[in-house]
């Protein structure tokens, strides 16, 4: 904001006019007052700019102003999609009882998929989209690629340690603690995908701008090549590398190459329900990295006005339709390849990456169309609350869920007769089991748990408190 001389002189002019009107109403003819210079004690107000963002921008040379474009508005649809994914993750992870679950809320036993099998790859896909948008914003604020690489390393380490903490809580038996896990996979995939994106030049930096200040085209070819190598290489490893005692090409729980490597490298530290393989194992992390990289390519598509110089700027409608088309291709291609290399969440097969990546593109395109293009936002607040504190609410809700199973409460069934039950069993049995048949009561408990954490996170959102991990 600038205070000009015109602003300073506006008041005396208004007073003179008011005085003249008073004279006229009183019938006294006013004398003509000659304009004269301000008295000696009067000093004109200097044009001193207040240090606002606009003033600073105006004070810079035109060339520098062109290099620092206005910050792009936040993509609310991405927060909504992330919030929907986290809410679904809490829903499927916290039934009232695992003995009574509707089939869409269960994982496929092995090959194939259910809606539950879409949730984790959706989250990794969103990590890729968010990563590109975050990197671009930080580069425009002055961060270097080296500082971003250190940020990726630090954040990955923190997420991995938090995952280990959840796995060990509350007893921390180091001899049997599960090393792989959901947060651990997120950390490793974020680490490698982030470094690949930074090394490839997928996100153009300020030093790479043209003379007119516009961005150079994103270098998508190296990232596409890495995705293809990961998917084709993983298929080749599982298909052609023989497993001792089983042979080559085995895709069953015990005989596949990934399970063999997990038993070889992490004996005693695998998923407690299998003990001989892990759904977040070492080898299957390779195609999971490709899932994050697919998200990063989508982030570039949504962020960049064009991919090549000379192209007309893409409209939001074109971005949504392009995303919808690419997602449909991924869905069809994944299903067509399923007979040759099955869609399998536990193995995180290449077809699973293609299929779930396509599904994620379709849903993000719909969210983008509804929220950011059409502006239909009355329904989105609960999901934005979840989406803006996603890792925090997942971590805290998982911690409470585990505590409610480990810790016990004393229940008196009859005078003099008492038994120990978990907090979870007590709450479910006391308040939900009597409400209906077991499968509906189990679902009601899961919905209650979602609403509980929504109520806990809402005050943080209202106060703009976002817990970053």
CB distance 288 to 189 below 8 Å? yes
* pLDDT at residue 70 greater than cutoff 60: no
412: how many CB neighbours lie within 10 A of its CB? Answer: 9
* pLDDT at residue 60 greater than cutoff 90: no
pLDDT in tens, 240-298: 999 999 999 999 999 999 999 999 999 989 988 888 889 999 999 999 999 999 999 99
Q: What percent of the chain shows pLDDT beyond 70?
A: 79
In order, the DSSP letters of 75-88 are -HHHHHHHHHHHHH
pLDDT value at residue 308: 55
Quick one: angle between helices 438-462 and 76-93, nearest 10?
140
Q: Mean pLDDT for the chain?
A: 84
Please report where in the chains the tokens 């194939």 appear, as a residue: 112
pLDDT value at residue 453: 97
- The domain limits of the chain are 5-49, 91-102+379-469, 107-375
- Give me the mean pLDDT over the 212-229 stretch: 80
* pLDDT at residue 309 greater than cutoff 70: no
CB distance 116 to 95 below 8 Å? no
Please report where in the chains the tokens 């971590």 appear, as a residue: 395
pLDDT value at residue 209: 56
Return the ∠ at Cα 80 (arms to 75 and 81), rounded to 5°: 100
CB distance 132 to 296 below 8 Å? yes
Most confident of 64-73, 191-200, 208-217, 419-428: 191-200
* pLDDT at residue 426 greater than cutoff 50: yes
Quick one: angle between helices 221-240 and 182-200, nearest 10?
130
pLDDT value at residue 1: 36
pLDDT value at residue 72: 58
Q: What sign for the dihedral angle of Cα 294, 299, 300, 302?
A: positive
Nearest in space to 3 (alpha carbons), one of 38, 55, 56? 55
pLDDT value at residue 214: 55
CB distance 368 to 319 below 8 Å? yes
pLDDT in tens, 99-148: 999 999 999 999 999 999 999 999 999 999 999 999 999 998 999 999 99
* pLDDT at residue 33 greater than cutoff 50: no
């Amino acid at each position: 904001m600038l205070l000009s001389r015109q602003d300073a002189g506006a008041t005396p002019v208004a007073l003179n006019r008011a005085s003249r009107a008073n004279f006229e109403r009183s019938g006294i003819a006013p004398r003509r007052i000659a304009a004269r210079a301000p008295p000696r004690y009067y000093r004109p107000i200097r044009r001193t700019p207040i240090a606002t963002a606009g003033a600073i921008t105006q004070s810079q040379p035109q060339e520098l102003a062109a290099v620092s474009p206005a910050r792009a508005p936040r993509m609310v649809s991405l927060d909504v999609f992330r919030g929907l994914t986290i809410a679904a993750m809490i829903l499927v992870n916290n039934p009232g009882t695992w003995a009574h679950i509707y089939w869409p809320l269960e994982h496929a036993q092995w090959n194939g998929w259910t809606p539950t099998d879409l949730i984790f790859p959706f989250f990794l896909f969103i990590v890729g989209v968010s990563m590109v948008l975050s990197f671009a914003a930080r580069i425009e604020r002055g961060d270097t690629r080296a500082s971003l690489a250190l940020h990726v390393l630090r954040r990955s380490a923190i997420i991995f340690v938090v995952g280990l903490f959840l796995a060990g809580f509350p007893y921390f038996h180091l001899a049997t603690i599960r090393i792989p896990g959901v947060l651990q996979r997120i950390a490793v995939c974020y680490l490698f995908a982030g470094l690949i994106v930074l090394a490839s030049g997928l996100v153009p930096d300020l030093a790479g701008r043209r003379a007119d200040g516009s961005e150079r085209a994103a270098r998508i070819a190296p990232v596409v090549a890495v995705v293809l190598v990961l998917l084709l290489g993983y298929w080749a490893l599982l298909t052609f590398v023989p497993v001792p005692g089983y042979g080559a090409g085995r895709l069953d729980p015990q005989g596949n190459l990934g399970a063999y490597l997990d038993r070889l490298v992490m004996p005693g530290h695998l998923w407690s329900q299998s003990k001989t393989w892990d759904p977040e194992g070492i080898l299957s992390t390779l195609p999971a990295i490709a899932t994050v990289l697919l998200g990063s390519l989508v982030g570039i598509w949504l962020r960049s006005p064009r991919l090549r110089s000379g192209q007309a700027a893409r409209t939001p409608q074109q971005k949504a339709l392009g995303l919808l088309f690419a997602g449909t291709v991924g869905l069809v291609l994944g299903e067509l390849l399923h007979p040759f290399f099955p869609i399998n969440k536990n193995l995180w097969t290449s077809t699973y990456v293609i299929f779930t990546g396509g599904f994620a593109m379709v849903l993000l395109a719909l969210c983008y169309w509804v929220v950011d293009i059409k502006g239909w936002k009355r329904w989105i607040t609960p999901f934005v609350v979840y989406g803006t504190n996603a890792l925090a609410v997942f971590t805290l809700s998982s911690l409470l869920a585990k505590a409610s199973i480990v810790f016990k409460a004393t229940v008196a069934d009859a005078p003099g007769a008492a038994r120990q039950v978990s907090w979870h069993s007590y709450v479910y049995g006391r308040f939900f089991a009597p409400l209906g048949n077991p499968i509906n009561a189990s679902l009601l408990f899961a919905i209650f748990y979602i609403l509980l954490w929504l109520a806990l996170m809402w005050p943080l959102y209202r106060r703009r408190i976002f817990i970053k991990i």
